[in-house]
Amino acid sequence: MTPSDIRSAHARIRGHIRRTPILETASPVVGAAPISLKLECLQYSGSFKARGAFHNLLTRPALAAGCATASGGNHGAAVAFAAQKLGIRAHIFVPEIATPAKIAKIKAYGAEAIIGGGSYAEAQERCDQYVAESGALLVHPYDAVETIAGQGTLALEWEEDLERLGLRKLDTVLIAVGGGGLIAGAAAWFAGRVKVVGVEPDGSRALHAALEANAPVDVSVKSIAADSLGAKRVGELNFKIARRFVSSVVLVTDSAITQAQRRLWADVSVIAEPGGAAAFAAIASGAYRPEQDERVGVLVCGANADPAALA
């Protein structure tokens, strides 16, 4: 995966996605440089996942059986949205932990939502069985080159828009991690020019554990953000990229994530689901402490939350 691959992916999908804005805001750390928020929560379907979904369906044509995927909600909604726009049948396998709002969004986009299994891993097993039996195109949520390249396009936009607006370049970016497709795509784009720091809930730490073990390993998952950051094991491709280009991974508590959600709403009127607020939680809680004058970018990656829950 190279920056050239990601630039090619952007050329394919840019007519189908929203170029989400960036927002300059004061850092939660007193005396620190202003931070740059990339508001991917405003992407079609409510998360960055639309990028990878479109890139898969535009580069790997689906057959009569359509496409299928397993998802805690965001990826499923993105595949459903992309499939609807491209005229493709979609079958989305969703675990029971997915929120009603995400399931409703999948159905609203015209996809078939098959609900069952207590975890994302169980939903993935059911999806794999369906793909083997039906011949449907599997759209993997994170461990596929098409997915990784698609997600990496948001980092390309982030850098281009900072330069276009005459804003200071980033020293560091904080990115939430589930299965690793998002951070792998961003890290492949920055390719060591910008420090990339992963953020995981302390109850769902697939990349943190993999880097400690120097190989992907299974982890237990128990977090408020499990429906979006609840991968049992980081992707193989994603781990290879992360091992090379991700500087470190910090862990945040569920309480810190909830506080970050509320702070994003109170300070900048941004609605973020738990997984979408995790990266901001790292800096707001002190799990990540920037150096003096360090320019930090924070990715707000998903908005599929019930607004009433933030009250």
Contact 119/230 with Cβ under 8 angstroms?
yes
Instruction: Flag the least confident range among 119-123, 140-144, 169-173, 208-212.
Output: 119-123
Distance of CA 150 to the CA centre of its chain: 11
Give the pLDDT of residue 58.
97
Mean pLDDT of the chain: 94
User: 274-298: per-residue pLDDT in tens?
Assistant: 999 999 999 999 999 999 899 999 9
DSSP secondary structure, 109-165, as one string: TTPEEEE--SSHHHHHHHHHHHHHHH-PEE--SSSSHHHHHHHHHHHHHHHHHHHHT
pLDDT of residue 306 exceeding 90: no
Least confident among 20-34, 144-158, 159-173, 271-285: 20-34
Q: What is the DSSP track for 216-283?
A: --------TTHHHH--SS--HHHHHHHHHHEEEEEEE-HHHHHHHHHHHHHHH-----HHHHHHHHHH
Stretch 72-87: mean pLDDT: 94
Give the span between the Cα atoms of 75 and 69, in whole angstroms: 8
Sequence-separated (6 or more) residues with CB below 8 Å from residue 33 = 27, 168, 290, 293, 294, 295, 296
The residue extents of the domains of the chain are: 3-48+151-310, 49-138
Does 311 score more than 70 pLDDT?
no
Residue 16 has pLDDT above 90, yes or no: yes
The CATH fold assigned to 3-48+151-310 is Rossmann fold (3.40.50)
> How high is the pLDDT of residue 73?
84
Q: Check if the beta carbon of residue 155 is closer than 8 Å to that of residue 241.
A: no
Q: pTM of the full predicted structure?
A: 0.94
Q: Cα–Cα distance between 228 and 107 in angstroms, integer?
A: 18
* The CATH number of the domain covering residues in 49-138: 3.40.50.1100
pLDDT at 17 over 90: yes
Q: What is the pLDDT of residue 175?
A: 98
The arithmetic mean of pLDDT across residues 30-53, rounded, is 95
State the DSSP string of 58-82. HHS--BTTBEEEE-SSHHHHHHHHH
CA distances from 1 to 142, 197, 253 (A): 14, 19, 32
Comparing 3-48+151-310 with 49-138, is the CATH topology the same?
Answer: yes
Sorting pLDDT into bands at 50, 70 and 90, what band is 101?
confident
Mean pLDDT across 121-137: 93
